[in-house]
Amino acid sequence: MIDAVTLLAFVPAALALNLTPGPDMMFCLGQGLRSGRAAAAAASAGISAGSMVHVTLAGLGLGAVVAAVPGVFDLIRWIGVVYLLSLAWGALRSGPVQADAPAVPARRAFRAGFLVNLTNPKVILFVLAFVPQFVRPEAGPVLAQFLVFGLILAAGGFVINGLAGVFAGQAKQRLAGSPVFARWLGRVSAGIFAGLAVRLAIMERA
């Protein structure tokens, strides 16, 4: 369905995009600092699942609605802002990070990553701008091609964002034994979530 030349062009481009630090990577870093390696990996999986929803919507043509109707874009965006701020508040309210604190359930971390990605309308606008460059209608169903390219992006993002989160989780294990670092780890993770909320709040549609 998708020829080898197109895949050879898409894979390096997708890898370069995944390696570029962005909101997804920062969110996994924040989860790793706050909740450890397992939560960071689960959050990365949730982000990849959310990106597949965006790709599916773009392939179905529904993404064009978000691109064309400002109200839909803004509604999704502000839901994301509120959710990220709630995560930041939760990180601050829970106090210093303890090395022996109970691990955040993987399903909760997965849900957090999924919702953060899903409520970022910029993702679907990016998909609409990037993926169609490699889609060839004469090669087969457009939706199927969107899904193949989306799976490549999601898989690369899961590995790279997950590794960033695991690294942060290892740092948390080493530093949480110190009261000073334990206190600042919580503040840093809260700052990351709040910073992502601000970034989403001031985002422009263009």
pLDDT digits (tens), the chain, 206 positions: 778 888 888 898 888 888 877 888 889 988 888 888 899 999 999 999 999 999 998 888 877 777 777 787 788 788 888 888 888 887 777 665 555 555 678 899 999 999 999 988 878 888 888 888 888 877 778 888 999 999 999 999 999 999 999 988 887 777 666 666 666 666 777 888 888 888 878 865 54
Query: Which of 62, 143, 125 lies closest to 135, judged by CA?
Result: 143
Give me the pLDDT at residue 23, please. Answer: 85
Give me the pLDDT at residue 205, please. Answer: 53
The torsion angles phi and psi of 128, rounded to 5 degrees, stand at: -65, -30
Kindly write down the DSSP assignment for every residue of 122-165, as one continuous string. HHHHHHHHHGGGG--GGGS-HHHHHHHHHHHHHHHHHHHHHHHH
- For the entire predicted model, the pTM comes to 0.80
Q: Answer yes or no: are the C-beta atoms of 47 and 157 closer than 8 Å.
A: yes
Q: Answer yes or no: are the C-beta atoms of 1 and 145 closer than 8 Å.
A: yes
Give me the pLDDT at residue 96, please. Answer: 59
Give me the pLDDT at residue 122, please. Answer: 79
The torsion angles phi and psi of 60, rounded to 5 degrees, stand at: -80, -10
Give me the pLDDT at residue 36, please. Answer: 84
Cα–Cα distance between 112 and 84 in angstroms, integer?
9
